[in-house]
Copies of this chain bind each other. A is one copy, B any other.
């Protein structure tokens, strides 16, 4: 099982390689995603025009696709980017924001999930909805659902898509077809600051450039759980949390991540 030693090694590899991460993401999350990637030690780029998306995949190390503010031209760019990434053997991460909220969103997420993402990262409601849309009988679409309620759906989704599925909540999980890892940590203020989940998905992509999908998912979950808790301790409310999170990721090293990560069997 992926353990603390592995994710420390992954962080060292990320810092050494400084992977170029292409983001096709939503308007709300762009700035924070870029800042989180820079703070962590990766190099972000936001490139989504159909005219250049495949050319940019060719020079990137990993790709994150986030449907938060989707529209048809962006969805077409997402399709082209993931096909180019697959052809080039580059890992890509799917963040199915709001899957289940509208038919358009659910259908887009399900289509993208069929294109072999390395990792899918969502909250319980999104993962359950996406699992349902790709064949699993949905257990419900409750945005307040706890992450463990989505564990079975995540397992089915992982088996059908071949992706590692990361479900975030009070406890986070990373699931593939045969195993499941739990990661604890974080802070109750985190859901009160927008786009942290989106920035986490971008972080998964950065790690996926330097290690296998399961290790990448666990490393990103642990890094956010550790840095988020440290950041929240410096805050009296959610306002400064994004800035503090960036500082905490910037100051994190492999030793501190290994020491503070709370990883276990799900």
Q: How far is the CA of A30 from the CA of B29 in the complex (A)?
A: 9
- Residue-by-residue, is A91-107 near B (CB-CB < 8 Å gives 1, otherwise 0)? 00000001001111100
A45 at the B interface (CB under 8 A) = yes
Q: How far is the CB of A136 from chain B (nearest CB, A)?
A: 22
Q: Which residues of A contact B (CB under 8 A)?
A: 26-28, 30-32, 34-35, 38-39, 44-52, 55-56, 59, 68-73, 98, 101-105, 191-195, 235-240, 242-248, 250-251
Asked whether A52 lies within 8 Å of B243 as measured between CB atoms, the reply is no
Q: Would B52 and A102 count as touching, CB distance under 8 A?
A: yes
Q: Which residues of B contact A56 (CB under 8 A)?
A: 101-102
Closest to A235 in B: B247
Q: Which residues on the B side are within 8 Å of A30 (C-beta)?
A: 27-28
Contact in complex: B237, A98 (CB < 8 Å): no
A238 to B49, CA, bound (A): 29
Choose among B38, B101, B248 the residue that contacts A192 (Cβ–Cβ < 8 A).
Answer: B38
Minimum CB–CB distance from A40 to chain B (whole Å) comes to 10
Chain B residues closer than 8 Å to A248, beta-carbon distance: 237
Closest to A241 in B: B243
Contact present for A47 and B31 (CB under 8 Å): no
Q: Please judge, given known A-B contacts A237-B251, A243-B240, whether A38 and B104 are in contact too, CB under 8 Å.
A: no
12 other contacts beyond A31-B32, A237-B251, with CB at 8 A cut-off? A35-B193, A35-B238, A38-B238, A45-B98, A51-B72, A52-B103, A55-B104, A56-B102, A59-B101, A239-B244, A239-B250, A240-B243
Q: Which residues of B contact A69 (CB under 8 A)?
A: 46-49
A245 to chain B, nearest CB (A): 7
Task: Determine the chain B residues whose CB is within 8 A of the CB of A31 once the complex forms.
Answer: 28, 31-32, 194-195
**Nearest 5 A-B pairs (CB), nearest first?**
A237-B247, A239-B243, A239-B246, A34-B194, A52-B102
Contacts of A246 in B (CB 8 A): 237-239
How many angstroms from the CA of A223 to the CA of B193 in the assembled complex?
Answer: 19
